[in-house]
Chains A and B, each alone.
Chain A
Amino acid sequence: MADVRLSGVHKYYGNVHAVRGVDLTIKDGEFAVLVGPSGCGKSTLLRTIAGLEDPDQGTIAIGGAVVNDLRPRERNIAMVFQNYALYPYLTVKENIAFGLRARKTPEIEIRKRVSEAAEMLGIGGLLDRHPRQLSGGQRQRVAIGRAIVRKAELFLFDEPLSNLDAQLRDEMRTEIKRLHHEITTTMIYVTHDQVEAMTLADRIVLLREGKIEQQGAPLELFERPQTGFVAGFLGSPSINLIPAKLVATADGISAAFENGGTLDLPRSRAAALREAIGRPILLGIRPQHFSRASGAPLREGVISYAAIADLIQPTGTRTFTTIKIGGVDAIAELQAHDVESHGERIELAVDLNRAVLIDPASGQVIN
């Protein structure tokens, strides 16, 4: 087991500055997820930690030792790839044992570890098959098995579930989480899928254009984003961002929309927002912060809002309903039967205590 420290890591591909000065510390035994949109540098960063790419600047330390000059095989890491990277000419057993044989592990130890890993991953019956005889999920299990048997200090996952269908992805996600609980090795996991990031991570590292935009516990990033990008990236459906302007009212501060409508912001936030009065903002309201008003008195910061249901997208458990706020489309996530038909007039309760206000010029959240 080992911690990982990156200091001032830069990586260029010709004129492209893929990683721009990343400083990151991942604690011993932590499950860190590097997440971000395509081209944000997350895979490059992972490959740099693995030693498959050399950083142009900065240092990488694993377990306290700088590994910049070490080859991948000398870093005591195990890596799981997106396309499984199984050797088609070897059986499952030989694939899992590949890394151990490469390191001249005694045969008796290889057999023990392979059978342990196979049991842990439920692939004991597949050991004599070839990869082409396996399903996508089974192949990924074998790839994970190959990493487990190595008993490496650090596990790296490069979008391991991207090639699986939705149901298998859910299953494997659970298994990877369980695996981390069982073996408690430091894991760094790259994905572009924010659901994977939220569900798996002890800590999310959100990257944008080669830099860390924000890092922290999943719920911390979700509830207290520091930038509009973070607020927009995490959450499904995405946060609603409504252009508005902060105006002072007799009771406090309101968001005034371009179509003339207003929403009163909670009094508790008035002091913090006073300096921003008169400035344009993006009012960020998560779909989950809407609910059907029950008629009961609303608590402080929760306002009632009458809307017409436009598009209705039931998912079974929840129903996504498109409504208009300030003249723009917004999505409200309601109970399954809260809204039944297109054009229905619905009374909503909107929790503005958890609304995010973003400065459109800087992209920063106004606290």
Chain B
Amino acid sequence: MTFAMLPRRKTRILALRYVGAIVLTLIFLFPVYWLFMISFKTPDEIYHVPPLWVPGQIQFSNYYVLFKDGDVVAIANSLIVAGVSSVVAIILGTLCAYSLARFGTGGENLAMWIISQRMIPPIAVVFPIFLIYVYFGMVDGFFGLILLYTAFNLPYVIWMMRGYIIDVPLELEESALVDGLNRWQVIWKVVFPMVRPGLMATSVFTFVFAWNDFLFALVLTRTEVITFPVQLTHYFGGQSNFWAKIAAMSVLGTLPIFVAVSVMQRYLVRGISLGAVKG
């Protein structure tokens, strides 16, 4: 349907809606725009009064400094920690979810108990975990963070994947069992392709959780495995804030999430809406 086909009153309402949507989008996008602009500005331009909407010229010195000083290692650390913990949580969580969905493991209440673990506020457990990690020498290492993020993400993955797996018609699996596959092959060749949108959506959320976590990373790291959110706090000083570095680092830190969401957008929409109607 085109505008020309609509009655005049409806056209006006539709136009108003578009205007409203555009204004809201601009408001929401402005901080992002400002962040990007600051990252390309010189210190003079950053503190210029009145503020400059666009820098005089696009320059990458703020980024160059991050690479030169080795600050970008924090991004790599975050990628490793969030990536590995997401993959492990997805694999283990999906297998657990399959067991819950298909074999009724743990009876009716286990699934609810598992998701209730996700509701524990991180602040309530971070110091006991810190003491345990100190005891086992796991502070300031990849393994400790990966283990923690995996543990925190598992309940979420299990809960979400259980819902998606229940939705896969049982006959598809039974047919495959009769046709010659074993249970592992059924999971790999039938269940995984069927739950792919849900799997992708869940992966993105687990990755984002680990990527954005500040509290655990702050308490459990020192100098060796500093992640991106912790690295950012180093630029806030008592005397002054390094806005150029903050902006450039934030842009770099946003990129992986932006790429992940863009690539998986079509799965995300389906996956989230599927998850929305699950019990």
Which residues in A have some Cβ–Cβ distance to B below 8 Å?
A: 50-52, 71-73, 75, 77-79, 81-83, 85, 87-89, 98-99, 102-103, 146, 150
Contacts and interface: CB of A to CB of B under 8 A. Distances in A.
Interface in B11-54: none
B185 interface: yes
20 contacts: A50-B174, A52-B174, A73-B179, A73-B180, A73-B181, A73-B182, A78-B179, A79-B175, A79-B178, A81-B174, A81-B175, A83-B171, A85-B169, A85-B174, A87-B172, A89-B194, A102-B176, A102-B179, A102-B180, A103-B179
B121 interface: no
Nearest to B190: A87
Interface centre among A73, A78, A89, A99 (most CB of B within 10 A): A73
Given A87-B190, A89-B193, A50 B178 contact: yes
A81 B175 CA distance: 8
A34 B194 CA distance: 32
A83 B169 contact: yes
B183 to A, nearest CB: 9
A224 to B, nearest CB: 36
A88 B197 CA distance: 14
A150 B180 CA distance: 10
Nearest to A89: B193
A139 to B, nearest CB: 12
A72 B178 contact: yes
Nearest to B196: A89
Given A81-B175, A83-B169, A71 B194 contact: no
A25 B183 CA distance: 30
Nearest to A47: B174
Given A83-B169, A102-B185, A77 B193 contact: no
A77 B177 CA distance: 11
A75 B174 CA distance: 14
B176 A98 contact: yes
A75 B193 CA distance: 26
Given A52-B177, A81-B175, A85-B175, 11 more contacts: A50-B174, A71-B177, A72-B174, A72-B178, A73-B179, A75-B178, A79-B178, A87-B172, A87-B190, A102-B185, A103-B180
B174 A146 contact: no
Given A87-B193, A102-B185, A73 B178 contact: yes
Contact of B171 (A71, A81, A103): A81
Contacts of A89: 193-194
Nearest to B175: A85
- In the A-B complex, the 7 residue pairs with the closest CB atoms: A99-B179, A102-B180, A85-B175, A85-B171, A81-B171, A103-B180, A73-B180
Contacts of B194: 88-89
Interface residues of B, number: 16
A73 B175 contact: no
Contacts of A99: 178-180
Given A89-B193, A89-B194, A102-B185, A82 B178 contact: no
A229 B196 CA distance: 49
Contacts of B185: 102
B178 A77 contact: yes
Contacts of A88: 194
B189 to A, nearest CB: 8
A334 B218 CA distance: 89
A114 to B, nearest CB: 14
B193 A73 contact: no
A51 B183 CA distance: 13
Contacts of A50: 174, 178
A150 B174 contact: no
Interface string B151-190: 0000000000000000001011011111111100100001
A249 B169 CA distance: 63
B175 to A, nearest CB: 4
Nearest to A77: B178
A50 B173 CA distance: 13
Nearest to B177: A72
Contacts of B182: 71, 73
B153 to A, nearest CB: 26
A77 B180 CA distance: 9
A146 B171 CA distance: 14
Contacts of A103: 179-180
Given A82-B171, A83-B171, A85-B171, A146 B179 contact: yes
A61 to B, nearest CB: 18
Given A85-B169, A89-B194, A98 B179 contact: yes
Contact of B179 (A82, A83, A150): A150
Interface centre among B169, B175, B178, B180 (most CB of A within 10 A): B178
Nearest to A90: B193
Interface centre among A75, A79, A150 (most CB of B within 10 A): A79
A88 B177 CA distance: 17
Contacts of A87: 172, 190, 193
A85 B169 CA distance: 8
A130 to B, nearest CB: 13
